[in-house]
A and B are shown apart, each in its own frame.
Chain A
Amino acid sequence: MNQHHHDHDDHSHLSEIELRVRALESILVEKGYVDPAAIDALVETYEVKVGPRNGAKVVAKAWTDPTYREWLRADATAAIASLGFVGRQGEHMVVVENTSDEHNMVVCTLCSCYPWPVLGLPPIWYKSAPYRSRAVLDPRRVLAEFGVYLPETTRIRVWDSTAEVRYLVIPMRPEGTEGMSEEALAELVTRDSMIGTSLAQQPEAMR
């Protein structure tokens, strides 16, 4: 039995999928195709090191530094890489900017394409059938499910990421944040606001 991570488990209590994954790993390790320590390192990377705080730094910088915002528009991949966020599932980045006239929202109707270096792994709802099916058809009602009610005059622009291009939404900078530091602004930037299913938080909400 693989003692690597499962020492608290009792075989008899494992579900079918748990048994299936365990068997698969043990075959792949036994054959020498997979190093279990590499699995640990991959999991640790996305559980500990990468996440939406990365994207929040990009957004806060875009809010405060017009030169950086221009760079994001011209070459988002390079501008984001300059902050150290690079690699798998972020090889080709595009940023889309929300305004009072237009709200951007990102989906992958075909699978779960998502900008890992800036947002980490996607939440379950992003990968789920309810979101993937309706985001392109009826985004206004989808937004309402997230508690977001936009003016009827605000245009909605949905980006279905069907290729290897990954989209990051720059939410609108909340009012009343003039003079706030980049670090404080980044705290207002939620994961969902960078997918486009939410807005950046008001500073009051921080209390």
Chain B
Amino acid sequence: MNGGQDLGGMMGFGPIAIEQDEPWFHAEWERRAFGLTLAMGATSSWNIDMSRHARESLPPAEYLTSSYYAIWTKGVEKLIVAAGLVSKEELTRGQSLSEPAPIKRVLKAEDVPAVLVRGGPAERPAERPARFAVGNRVLTRNLNPQGHTRLPRYARGKMGVVELVHGAHVFPDANAHGQGEQPQWLYTICFSGRELWGEQADPTLSVSVDAWESYLEPV
């Protein structure tokens, strides 16, 4: 969706605030928000694409004025309500009002190292050969889906070149909406700065995105 998260090419946010010797967290609540987001993710009640979509479908004005871990918190709240694990009323009241719903698993402290080592690989066996090869010229499609997508606005309808072929990866646009993983070939597509930004772009600039096969058309 064309949401507040799709920031590439926007202007007016001001200088980059670089913090020397930045701590990993800036407040205790950030630690808890981080940990509970990962712990709830480990319950397998949703997948990473659903998780990203929950954050990115916040209204743009809210997304852009919320701090990073506030966005995570709001995302988890949306996910637990959508999954039927917690009711809206419980969130409003700040307390549990009913019996817990069945849950696939609960992450135990002793399992944390193994779960993090395992991670969540996104590559899947390819069901068909790749449509494109390194060096092929491609056109990104001008897609504006209502749902989740990982093709940024600035890279739609642009000519690029296949630079890397990564294998078949879980397709977020489907997986975010409970439609299964529907793996597709994933490519790194490189564009010239001029193709993306016009003739005033830095002539030495090139930018790539990682794009799934259905984002691309042959040229």
Contacts and interface: CB of A to CB of B under 8 A. Distances in A.
Interface of A: 5-6, 9, 15, 17-28, 30-35, 37-43, 45-47, 86-92, 94, 107, 109-112, 120-121, 123-125, 127-140, 142, 145-146, 152-165
Interface of B: 5-11, 13-19, 22, 24-29, 31-36, 38-40, 42-43, 52, 55-56, 64, 67-70, 73, 76-77, 80, 85-86, 90-91, 94-96, 100-101, 103, 106-109, 111-113, 115-123, 150-152, 154-155, 164, 166, 169-170, 172, 186, 188, 190, 196-197, 202, 204-212
B28 A5 contact: yes
Contacts, number: 272
A131 B18 CA distance: 10
A139 to B, nearest CB: 7
B5 A111 contact: yes
9 contacts: A5-B31, A32-B103, A34-B36, A43-B34, A109-B152, A156-B202, A156-B206, A159-B207, A162-B152
Contacts of A161: 210
Contacts of B154: 109, 136-137
Contact of B188 (A37, A110, A152, A165): A165
B94 A163 contact: no
B73 A21 contact: yes
Contact of A43 (B10, B35, B43, B204): B35
A163 B124 CA distance: 14
Contacts of B34: 42-43, 46, 121
Is the contact region of chain B dominated by helix, strand, or loop, or is it mixed?
mixed
Given A33-B106, A35-B39, A125-B19, A88 B120 contact: yes
